[in-house]
Amino acid sequence: ECFEYWDKRTPENTRSIVSLFQGLEDVDIKNLFEIMGKLERTSSELYKEAKK
């Protein structure tokens, strides 16, 4: 899924996205991914509840 996302991006898109992460330390990016994971799980749970 991730590969398909990046495969569809133009070099300009890629440079733009990469620029958003410049200046971040590894720990910042790790924390960001942990937060995104929590948001994804919460979103999934809310979606499942709404479908009931």
- Give the tens place of pLDDT for each residue, 4-24: 877 888 888 888 988 999 999
Return the pLDDT at 30.
Answer: 95
Between CA 39 and CA 43 the distance in angstroms is 6
Three-state secondary structure string covering the chain: CHHHHHHCCCHHHHHHHHHHHCCCCHHHHHHHHHHHHHHHHHHHHHHHHHHC
Residue 46's pLDDT band, with cuts at 50, 70 and 90, is: very high
Cα 30 to chain centroid, rounded? 11
Q: Is the pLDDT of residue 2 over 80?
A: no
Confidence at residue 45, expressed as pLDDT on a 0 to 100 scale: 95
Cα 41 to chain centroid, rounded = 13
